[in-house]
Amino acid sequence: MEANNQNFSKLEQALAKYNLDVDEAEVRQKVKEIIVEKVPENDTLDVKKFLFRSIELTSLHTTDTETGIMKFVEHVNDFEAAYPDLGNVATICVYPCFAKTVAETLEVENVAIACVSGSFPSSQARIEVKVAETALAVADGATEIDIVLPVGKFLDEDYEDMCSDIQELKNACGDDVPMKVILETGCLKTMSNVKKASILAMYSGADYIKTSTGKEKVSATPEAAYVMCRAIKEYYDETGIQIGFKPAGGINTVMDAVTYYTIVKEVLGEKWLTNRWFRMGTSRLANVLLSEILGDKIEVF
């Protein structure tokens, strides 16, 4: 009991360092200003090339098969030879059961292998099951892990158990395998909750925070991205620890992608504008971005 009280006290102390009372009207206004005043200047060829290299190319379908995943990876292999001057996507993301398939099929360097784990997309499973799934994914070749914040525990204000889950999964990843924590911002109800969830996820071991799974009705929004980036900046200023950011879900157009790029640039600055610290979950935009970059209709992926 004393250990639990100490853990809760540490969480309270961590949260007390940040202003969690987010003015939603102010957030909407700030985002509007960024979109109107700053987005147009980033609608450039160089930014689109960067955005392409930041994509996490994803296959998370009920119908996925080993043969299909092999073909999916071969597209990434083939792209390197066909367009050597463009650079490749940042990541291939699959279910854990396909980690070994990707690891054995992927031939190009500098493309990470990410697995969604921890009972994606609900995070509703015993922690022992989530830890085992994560450890097996890493053993099979995953070089990054994406987990979902236990949203139910968060909404029930059970922050201690929620943070414990995240910490245990980070331990399963180890120091060399970055872990993204998906906040599922569309389920968090308020921007104050988005800020609090961001801080708690980072405090508990997240190497990146990510907006959404893409499996809920509301996915990424510029407002949630703005609040998350503000939280990352404040956490960095407080701790000196740099945390990555990934918008995902509902990124349907090139201008959507440019908007998220611009929010990161304006809130976090140039230090975050590499595909180590900025990732984008939008497989559907890979061909669209390539088509705009090359000036011709491209269907590679």
Q: By the 8 A CB rule, do 298 and 75 touch?
A: no
Q: What is the spatial distance between Cα 162 and Cα 201, in angstroms, rounded to a whole number? A: 9
Catalytic residue status for 71: no
Catalytic, out of 30, 48, 130, 146: 146
Instruction: Return the closest-CA partner of residue 278 out of 190, 221, 208, 224.
Output: 208
Catalytic, out of 130, 170, 180, 246: 246
Q: By the 8 A CB rule, do 130 and 147 touch?
A: yes
Contacts of 298 (CB under 8 A, 6+ apart): 287, 290, 291
Q: What is the spatial distance between Cα 279 and Cα 211, in angstroms, rounded to a whole number? A: 11
Please work out, in degrees rounded to the nearest 5, the angle formed at the alpha carbon of residue 236 by the alpha carbons of 271 and 185.
Answer: 95
Q: What is the spatial distance between Cα 171 and Cα 168, in angstroms, rounded to a whole number? A: 5
Catalytic residue status for 100: no
Catalytic, out of 30, 130, 170, 210: 210
For residue 148, give the 3-state DSSP assignment: strand
Catalytic residue status for 189: no
- Give catalytic residues, as residue numbers: 146, 210, 246
